[in-house]
Amino acid sequence: RPLPLPTRSTFFHIAHISAQIHTISFGLQDLMTGGRLVLPNFLSLDTCKELEFVHKSCSVVGYKPHVLSTTLSHLIATNCAELIIPFISIRDSLREVVEDHFGCEFELFVEFTGLISWTQGATIGWHSDSNQPYLRQRHYSAVCYLNNYGEDFEGGLFHFQQGEPHTLVPSVGTVVIYTADEQNIHCVDEVTSGERCTLAMWFTRDHLHNEDARLIKQLSEAFIYCDLLHLLEKGVSSESRYFDKKLQSSSQQQDNGGAMRSTHENYEIKLPANESYSKGINSIKKKASSNEWYNSFYKGVVDIEAVRCNADDKYMNSSALVNTLLPKAASSTMYWFVHDDQSQVAENESSCKNSLAELLERNGDNICELRLACLGFECFQEIECLMPTSCDPAKMSFGGRAEVPSSSNLQDVTLSFNGQIAGRSKLETPLMLQFKEEPIPYVFKSCLHALSVVQYFVWRKSIKLSLDADVSKSSSMTIFERHSDEQPNFQLGELVAQPAKKLCRSSMVLSESYQENIKTWRKIINSGRISHQQSADLAFLDKLEFVSFIQQWEDYIFDLWKMLLYSLPYWKASSCIFHVKS
């Protein structure tokens, strides 16, 4: 899975082109005023789409109203550590550009990496990026634009207070780099519709604010039970059909035959456990060729996961892959997306008990469900799962029961209860999706799982359209074969013809005037030409084709996960996160 990794000479080339382009746009002779650098097409369209996929799958409510964010630390904390992989080459490249551009003889550290999106109403006045005591360590800023002004959102132009360029029109792939001090006071106009997505990074000379050190620590803790060699030693074997396909592709890739050594130019690493590690890799190769490795690897992880997870979780033991790699929810309040003119009031009130639930009923819903709804997907969950036992039943009210859709036994119930407790439950409860009144015959572990698959589908579909690539359709058969065993209904990760139990529509806030509300939300979080095209794509959604993307999503996540586990020892050894060539 090659990520674009421009060389130094490419950067100069890009800088040269960018100077030309911006001479046209701004009537400038020199782009470099005030140490600013604008690089159009720094990121490829596909890279931007991939980051957008990560953000739209995992974002939580940000640090201020109308803003959503996805930090690397959040990804690790929510069992999505593998999703930091798409960032790694970009971080390397950007750090290098910033070091080159500002002639840093010292090495810079990444202070922060995050995806940030601004929705309708978001704005920021004149400021410099180190203007608070707790931001003093920020020396350089880089903002990469992941989507387009005028297509994906309106408003949101970037201005420097003085000097040139005065105004930047965000366009997909462009990065702007500037010093974080008062030389570069800037602002962003209010976003008036749609969702403006960026990758924001800050760099520091202060090693105490090195984000890598914190992230590596967090990763090490997250993977404390996941030691590769330890798992290999366990050598658990099981039936292999599940991993046959992965195995073929991976045994081809793994033939790097030799010493474990980083090819990153700044780091010549000799791992402390170099010898035993390369022995381990050799044994991986051997085992891979006898179809054992992935099974043992997986079994190991799953066994440990099972111990770590609540033993009476009835959904735990169905599909190894699905259970191990699925997102886990952060605190439920981080998903409540409130949006109207009263959001400030909402913020103040949300500290009071119960008022949060009331506010949500008026103004918001969980961002995962909103995103699904805006793409035409509705969530259905078992009603018992939506009723937290710890919650006082007197505080819950159920009403507004509507007709049962004739094509299935999904039931339409309007739910209204304490947002906080129920919210968490909702985010961790298995669900089925319905698209245009058609139930999709698959049980997702949670809203976050469903959202990630749907966003993956949206991402890959748009690639397919733009490149006209032939995405294999055969995997829908594979997935049927894979789950052909006799399994009880409503098992996580299973394809089900008909759910055994009645499921309820779980959109609690939007049910009253569902379609009207969705229209408004679409304008807020998803508008413009691309999403129009996306809705058109989704309108042609064939549910079997969609199901085939579930397998592709698993393969994608699994590949990233392998890369993460492969890279982590290098990162630990060097205290630095960088792209490890395998």
Query: Which residue, 50 or 129, is less far from Fe ion as judged by CB?
Result: 129
Query: Which residue, 129 or 554, is less far from Fe ion as judged by CB?
Result: 129
Pairing label, strands 175-179, 140-145: antiparallel
DSSP code, position 384: G
**H or E element in which residue 492 lies:** none
Cα–Cα nearest to 340, from 367, 368, 360, 354:
360
Residue 445, C-beta contacts closer than 8 angstroms, at least 6 positions apart: 315, 322, 323, 326, 430, 492, 493
Query: Which residue, 143 or 226, is less far from ligand AKG as judged by CB?
Result: 143
Interface of this chain with Fe ion, residues 124 to 143, rule: CB under 5 A: 129
The binder of 443, among Fe ion, ligand AKG, none, by C-beta within 5 to 8 A per type, is: none
175 to each of 98, 120, 194, how far by Cα in Å?
Answer: 11, 22, 20
Cα–Cα nearest to 459, from 43, 48, 2, 82:
48
**DSSP state letters, 96-128:** HHHHHHTT-SSPPEEEEEEEEEEETT--EEEE-
Q: Taking the complex as a whole, how short is the minimal distance between the CB of residue 157 and ligand AKG, in angstroms?
A: 9
- Name the token pair of 468: 């006209």
Q: Are 102 and 171 in contact (CB under 8 A)?
A: no
Query: Which residue, 36 or 246, is less far from ligand AKG as judged by CB?
Result: 36
Query: Which residue, 180 or 560, is less far from ligand AKG as judged by CB?
Result: 180
Q: Taking the complex as a whole, how short is the minimal distance between the CB of residue 113 and Fe ion, in angstroms?
A: 15
DSSP code, position 493: T
Query: Which residue, 129 or 428, is less far from Fe ion as judged by CB?
Result: 129
Residue keyed to tokens 């974080």? 180
The binder of 209, among ligand AKG, Fe ion, none, by C-beta within 5 to 8 A per type, is: none
Q: Taking the complex as a whole, how short is the minimal distance between the CB of residue 213 and ligand AKG, in angstroms?
A: 23
Q: Taking the complex as a whole, how short is the minimal distance between the CB of residue 125 and Fe ion, in angstroms?
A: 10
Q: Taking the complex as a whole, how short is the minimal distance between the CB of residue 55 and ligand AKG, in angstroms?
A: 13
The binder of 19, among ligand AKG, Fe ion, none, by C-beta within 5 to 8 A per type, is: none
Q: Taking the complex as a whole, how short is the minimal distance between the CB of residue 61 and ligand AKG, in angstroms?
A: 16
The binder of 309, among Fe ion, ligand AKG, none, by C-beta within 5 to 8 A per type, is: none
111 counts as binding Fe ion under rule CB under 5 A: no
Taking the CA atoms of 164, 170, 174 and 177 in sequence, report the sign of the dihedral they define. Answer: positive
Q: Taking the complex as a whole, how short is the minimal distance between the CB of residue 558 and ligand AKG, in angstroms?
A: 33
Query: Which residue, 48 or 219, is less far from ligand AKG as judged by CB?
Result: 48
Helix then strand count (H, E) for the chain reads 19, 21
Q: Taking the complex as a whole, how short is the minimal distance between the CB of residue 196 and ligand AKG, in angstroms?
A: 7
Cα–Cα nearest to 374, from 531, 179, 557:
531
Query: Which residue, 171 or 291, is less far from ligand AKG as judged by CB?
Result: 171
The binder of 81, among Fe ion, ligand AKG, none, by C-beta within 5 to 8 A per type, is: none
- Name the token pair of 370: 């909103």
**Closest CB to ligand AKG: residue number:** 158
Query: Which residue, 143 or 576, is less far from ligand AKG as judged by CB?
Result: 143
The binder of 93, among ligand AKG, Fe ion, none, by C-beta within 5 to 8 A per type, is: none
Q: Taking the complex as a whole, how short is the minimal distance between the CB of residue 570 and Fe ion, in angstroms?
A: 33
Q: Taking the complex as a whole, how short is the minimal distance between the CB of residue 114 and Fe ion, in angstroms?
A: 13
Give the residues across from 505 on adjacent strands.
380
- Residues near ligand AKG, by CB under 6 A: 124, 129, 143, 158, 186, 188, 198, 200
The binder of 198, among Fe ion, ligand AKG, none, by C-beta within 5 to 8 A per type, is: ligand AKG
**H or E element in which residue 194 lies:** strand 191-204
The binder of 200, among Fe ion, ligand AKG, none, by C-beta within 5 to 8 A per type, is: ligand AKG
The whole-angstrom separation of Cα 152 and Cα 464 is 19
Total residues in contact with Fe ion, by rule CB under 5 A: 1
Query: Which residue, 52 or 129, is less far from Fe ion as judged by CB?
Result: 129
The whole-angstrom separation of Cα 116 and Cα 60 is 10
Q: Are 400 and 523 in contact (CB under 8 A)?
A: no
The binder of 143, among Fe ion, ligand AKG, none, by C-beta within 5 to 8 A per type, is: ligand AKG
- Name the token pair of 175: 């990065």
The whole-angstrom separation of Cα 296 and Cα 315 is 22
**Closest CB to Fe ion: residue number:** 129
Q: Taking the complex as a whole, how short is the minimal distance between the CB of residue 77 and ligand AKG, in angstroms?
A: 22
Query: Which residue, 198 or 250, is less far from ligand AKG as judged by CB?
Result: 198
End-to-end distance of the chain based on CA atoms, in angstroms?
11
Amino acid, res. 438: E
Query: Which residue, 188 or 492, is less far from ligand AKG as judged by CB?
Result: 188
Query: Which residue, 63 or 106, is less far from ligand AKG as judged by CB?
Result: 63
The whole-angstrom separation of Cα 221 and Cα 568 is 12
Q: Taking the complex as a whole, how short is the minimal distance between the CB of residue 109 and ligand AKG, in angstroms?
A: 19
**DSSP state letters, 252-310:** HHT---S------TT-----TTHHHHHHHHHHHHHHHHTT-HHHHHHHHHHHHHHHHS-
Residue keyed to tokens 């997250």? 222
The whole-angstrom separation of Cα 566 and Cα 554 is 18
Q: Taking the complex as a whole, how short is the minimal distance between the CB of residue 244 and ligand AKG, in angstroms?
A: 45
The interface mask with Fe ion, positions 30-49, x = CB under 5 A, is --------------------
3-class DSSP state of 552: helix
Cα–Cα nearest to 366, from 415, 436, 326:
415
The binder of 158, among ligand AKG, Fe ion, none, by C-beta within 5 to 8 A per type, is: ligand AKG
The binder of 188, among Fe ion, ligand AKG, none, by C-beta within 5 to 8 A per type, is: ligand AKG
Q: Which residues of this chain interact with Fe ion, rule CB under 5 A?
A: 129
